[in-house]
Structures are given as C-alpha cells and as structure tokens.
Amino acid sequence: MAAAAAALAVLASACAAPADGDGAPNDGAPAPAAAPPTAELTEQDVNAWLDGVVPGALDVSGIPGAVVSVVHDGEILTVRGYGYADTGADGGGPVPVDPEETLFRVASVSKLVTATAVMGLVQEGALDLDTDVNEYLDFTLPTRFDEPVTLRHLLTHTPGFEERIKGMFLSGQDSPDLRSYLVEDPPEQVYPPGTVPAYSNYGNALAGYIVERTAGEPFEEYVAETVFEPLGMDSSTFAQPLPEGFRDRLASGYTDDTGPAGEFETVPDAPAGALTTSAPDMARFMLAHLGDLEGLGLDGDTLDLMHSPALGEDSLGTLAAGPRMALGFYREDRNGRPALGHGGDSMYFHSHLQIHPEDGTGVFVSFNGGGYPDGQGYYLREEITGGFMDRYLPREEGPAAGTDTAAEHAAMADGSYIGTRAVQSNFLSVLDLVGGLEVRDRGDGTILVTPGTASGHPQVYEEVEPWLWREVGGHRTLSMRAEDGRVEALGTDPASAFLRAGPGHVAAPAVLAFSLAVLLVAVLSWPVGAVVRRSLSLPARDRAGRTARVLTRAGTASALAAAVGWVLVLSFLMGMNEVPAAVLLGLHGLQLLGALGVVPAAWSLAGDVRRRAGWKRYAAGALVLAALAGTAWFALSFGLLSFDPTY
C-alpha cells in the first residue's frame, strides 16, 4: 500500500511520483563512464555517514524514528537505529529505537516477499507465469478484455485494474479474510493486460491468494515456513493482529513527532502490504536475493529470471525502453549500475529496500512517521538510498549523445497527461484533474515536465535514444509510446504510467469553474432580487413559466449543494475516514437533480423567448442553462452520477 501520506493523497499526487521506489532505470542509455568511488564501503564509513545524515534529517522533518540495515559481500555490514519507537506522547517515557529488536511495518515492501513465494512455486512447476490465473482460482476473475491475466502481469503491475481506496487500511479489526477482499468488491479492469503499467495492490493480493490456494494453507503460514524460517527471519510475520511476542516490539506509527500514535493498521490485502519485520531480518532477505544466504530455495536461474525485466516491447511497445518492472522488484538503476528494489508507504510507516546485484550490496531503511510537511518520509527514504549509491557506487553516466529524433518527438509529446494509478469507475475519477503531468516542448529538442516525475519540481529531459529521455543533470528516465503521430503514453515509473488526457479532461476545470460561478451568482441573485423589487415597489414576474423557474432553482441549488458535498467528502477521505454509502448515494441523488435541472431551465428559457421577455432575461436564462448543462456533463464524465458507493 504505497501511499505518500494517505491513500487519497496518493491518487492525487502519486501519479506524479513513483508508487514505490525511484524507478529510474537506464536501459538502453549510452554506456556510462567509470568514476572512482568517493568513499570505501566499510562498516566504519557507513556508520559515520548514516550517523551524520539520519539524526539531523529526523529532527528537521519531524519523523520520530528510523532503522537502517546494510549488507555487503555476503555479510550484514551494519544495522543502525535512530530516534524513538515511542515518543511518549500517549503517556509514559519515550522508548528509543532498538535496531536489533524494534519492529516496523513495511507496507508495499511486502510485495517482494509475496513475489518470492510465487517464484518458489514457479521453480517447483506448481505455477506458471504465463497461464491464465483463473486456472488457479476458486472464483472467476471479472475482466473486460479477452487477453487473460497471468502471474507475470500480477507481479509487474500490468493486470489492468483501476485503484481502490475504500478499506485500504482498517483499524481495530479482526484478522481479515483475503478471499472475501478479492471477491466482494473487485476493482474494474480498465486496461488490456500487459500493456499499461498501473500500480495494483489488488493484483499483488491476488498473487498471494494463488500462493495460498496452490500451497493449500494460509498465505501467512506458507510464507513463514518457506521464506522466514529458512532464512532465520524470526522477527517477521504477515499475521494480523500481531502474535504474542511481536506486539510489544512494534514501533508506534505517527503522522509526525508532534502528535499521538496512530492505531495498528490492518491491511485487508495482506500479501500486498501487511509485513511486520525488523532491520536484521530485512538484511537477511537482501542477502538471500543477492545469492549469499542459503535457505531461500530459489536457484540461480530463478533469481536471474526474477531480477530481469519481465515485459518487453511486444507488450509495452516503446515504453519498454525506459523504467520497467522485474518480477516483483522495481528496476531502480542509477549511476549506470543495476539496482532492484521496492518502497512502501502506509499512513504512518515509510520504507525502502534496494539491492545492487553486481556489487553484492543492499540497503534497507524504514521510518515510523511521515514527518512534516506531508511526504517527508517518502522523500527521505529516497534521499538515503540514492545518497548511498552516489557515495559508495558512484559510477558516472556518460553525457547524452543526443538523437536526430529529439525535436520531432518533443513536439509529439507536448500536452497534458493523467496517471494510470487512478480510479475510473466512480466519483474518485475526479482526482485525474489534480494528479497529472504537463509536458512542454521547449523548442530545442528538450521537454519540460511539470510537476516532475518524482521530485514534485519541474524537470527538463533530453532524448538519449529514440523514445528514451533522461533528466538533464539527474538520473531519472522516461519513455514514450506514440500512436497516430503523437505521444499517447509516458513511462515514468516501472509500475505506473501517464496517458494523454483527452479534450474533455483538459477542458473540465474551466467548464466546472464557469458553471459553478454562474450557479452561485444565480442563487445569490434570488434574495437580492427580491429585496430590490420590494424596495423599489417593482412588480413581480408574472405567473407564466413559474413552474419551470421553480424547478430550475431546485436544480441550481441541488447542483451547488452536490459540489459542496463532494468537496467535503474528498476532505473527509483525506483523513482516511470512510464515508457511509448512504452519504454517497445522497450526493449522487443531489447531482442527478442538478442534472435534471437542465430540462426546466431549457423550458424556462424557451418560455421567455416566446413571451419576448427581453434580452436580459434571455442572457440570464441561457447562462443558467449552460451552467447546469456544464455541471451535468462534468458529473457524467467523472462518475458523479454513477450511483456507485464503492471507491
């Protein structure tokens, strides 16, 4: 459950930032030039570097505590703890982080364990990566497209499912039932499988359920037996609630260090984000994937398969030139060196694991708070993993050679784009309007991307190979896929992409602003007009057309009330509060009344024209009609009339 601070905020902004991880591979980029290391990778130097970076960063950002573990050359190089597992804000004294004993929730880093379990069964021949997953399920997966969904798709975030927010994190719940989560309210499939990266917790949970079905035992028990126990990861579990012996060791989770701890976050799609673990255990997991620790059960060929790009140009087209998924792992190459990893964010915990197979090195970091302003936990983990590579694995990338196609492709890319990690079937599709990217052709063969593909700041990219672009002065890359003479998709992250926004998406903010402004002025004019008529003893309008005018006013009031209601609902969801279905259905009803107001508004305008009421009446009636039509169009376009209480 990767979410920057709250799941709704992810939908609004994570489209412009990786769902998890750096996601800046350089597949196909010019060969990098070697550069001497800036520091020797030793326990003493790593400890000194971490001690100089992490404590100050925690203080400045308001993150209570952190753990870091580093492995190198087959050994655990260091495990460090900083700050507080419990700040004492809820009573009692503060409790420091114990790097060996304190447990952290690692959210979507859990997906690496799930993928490892899948690949163990693939190696045994019990599962096949390219078989229709319905062969392994006891229910039929609801899909829209003819192409079957496979395990390869599930492990690469390409099954084509939209996002779901409701119930992402539960508080005070009993152990959740994985099958019920998958069957009762599945997200809609909105993209053909294998063609569009779109981050999917549901897809990863489905992979975990397939492990459960194939193994014949609960997922958390199978993983404990086949991954945790053989690797000596005795401080790791997917169980919810936590077993005895784990609860008292778990770090409390915080929004920041100024407030009380949050409740235990129960994750209903457990394989996608329920792992509780320690820094030493994550070090053992990294060593196993680097091939240095026996017990994982995956042979060299399976590890190579798992760590290699899992989809090619036959599926992704020219998006395959840029950021791609391995099987479960993000390709996070930097400095011209291969890197594999995954990040994870819940409401309170923010983590990242990254391994460097060619260098036999890995680093894991986790925080028990998001910090202030929102999202600092995400950015700080990126700074630590990126800073680690720049300090100890600093090979420089070669200068961009440039391409003959840069100017042409920059012009083809100019436009607005919306993220694929989004909701399309209900009212939350409105967040498409705030989570997109703008690409502008700078006229010199480079493009300006706003607000940036991960940093949140505008970034300039130059084409280093046809359809592959690299950040000027940076490490990130993006790829493009074109159709009919213009770029239709941007590959900005291994597990997510951006698709060109249609004319309706581009025009929607202006249409909505105009419509609401007109309706608001109309509502305010009612009492003002009545006061003016009384004070000047002006005659009231005749009764002809009164019914149409009354119904138009009802529609106008309903449309405005619905707009206010949707804003309140979105604000409520920002705090990860669930909205009752009755409230959502009530808002859908108000929106419908507003849309139906188009009929009496047209009737009223026609009556005014027929009665020759004058151009002022015509103009006012036409504006109200246009505004009601505008809100109705917006509601139809963005799911506000879907009468679907799921989200």
Q: Report which secondary-structure segment, H or E, holds 81.
A: strand 75-86
The H or E element containing residue 448 is strand 446-450
Peptide bond into 466 cis (omega under 30): no
Tokens in use for 123?
């190696």
Residue type, 68: V
Question: How far apart are alpha carbons 120 and 99 in whole angstroms?
Answer: 30
- How far CA 537 is from CA of 291, 524, 532, 534, 620, in Å, comes to 91, 20, 8, 5, 22
Distances in whole angstroms, Cα of residue 289 to Cα of each of 329, 525, 544, 600? 11, 69, 80, 67
Whole-angstrom distance, CA of residue 149 vs CA of residue 141: 9
Relative orientation angle of helices 110-124 and 300-307, to the nearest 10 degrees = 130
Catalytic residue flag (residue 108): yes
CA atoms within 13 A on the CB side of 127: 26
Q: What gap in Å lies between CA 63 and CA 78, rounded to an integer? A: 21
Amino acid of residue 239: A
Sequence-separated (6 or more) residues with CB below 8 Å from residue 151: 118, 122, 127, 128, 129, 130, 131, 133, 207, 210
Q: Taking CA 412 as the corner, what is the angle to CA 408 and CA 415, rounded to the nearest 5 degrees? A: 140
Question: In the block, which residue shows the tokens 């409390």?
Answer: 252
Joined together, the tokens standing for residue 589 give 């009803």
Selecting among 13, 61, 69, 108, the annotated active-site residue is 108
CA–CA gap between residue 324 and residue 343 (Å, rounded)? 15
- The secondary structure of 582-597 as a DSSP string is HHHHHHHHHHHHHHHT
**Shortest CA distance to 139 belongs to which of 105, 103, 185, 173?**
185
Backbone phi, psi, residue 67, to 5°: -130, 150
Query: Which residue in this structure is represented by tokens 């190979």?
Result: 465
What is the rounded CA–CA span in Å between residue 630 and residue 432? 18
Q: Tell me how many helices (H) and strands (E) the chain has.
A: 19, 19
DSSP 449: E
Q: What is the DSSP letter of 421?
A: S
Query: Quick check: 497 and 156 in contact, CB under 8 A?
Result: no
DSSP SS3 for 497:
strand
CA-based torsion, 504, 448, 163, 575: positive or negative: negative
- Cβ contacts of 149 within 8 Å, gap of 6 or more: 132, 133, 134, 141, 143, 159, 160, 189, 193
Q: Is 169 left (phi over 0), alpha (psi -120 to 50) or beta?
A: beta
- Considering only CA atoms, which of 590, 416, 428, 623 is closest in space to residue 523? 623
Nearest Cα neighbor of 336 from 41, 24, 39, 22 is 24
- Which residues participate in catalysis according to the annotation? 108
